[in-house]
Amino acid sequence: KKTEISASLRWITNVCHLISVFLFGGIIFGWAPLKLVLLAEGQYSESCAGNMNLDDASTTSKTVSGDGYNENDVITACAEQMRCYNAIFTLGQFLLNFASLPVGFFIDMISKPVYFTMAGICQITGFILFGISDSNNLDYFAIAYGLMALGGSMSIIGALPASFLVRPRRYQPLLLAASSCLFDASSIIFYLIYKIALVFPIAFTRKRAFFGLAIVAFIVYTILVAC
Dump pLDDT digits (tens) for 105-125. 888 888 889 999 999 999 999
Count CB atoms within 10 A of the CB of residue 160.
16
pLDDT tens digit string along 144-176? Answer: 999 999 999 999 999 888 887 777 778 888 888
Mean pLDDT of all residues in the chain? Answer: 84
**Of 106, 120, 214, 213, nearest in space to 161 by CA:** 106
The whole-model pTM stands at 0.84
SS (H, E, C) 3-40: HHHHHHHHHHHHHHHHHHHHHHHCHHHHHHHHHHHHHH
Answer left, alpha or beta for residue 68, where phi above 0 means left and psi between -120 and 50 means alpha.
left
70 and 63 Cβ atoms separated by less than 8 Å: yes
Q: Calculate Rg over the CA atoms of the chain.
A: 20
Q: What is the pLDDT of residue 201?
A: 79
Q: What is the pLDDT of residue 118?
A: 95
State which residues of the chain have pLDDT below 70: 1-5, 50-76
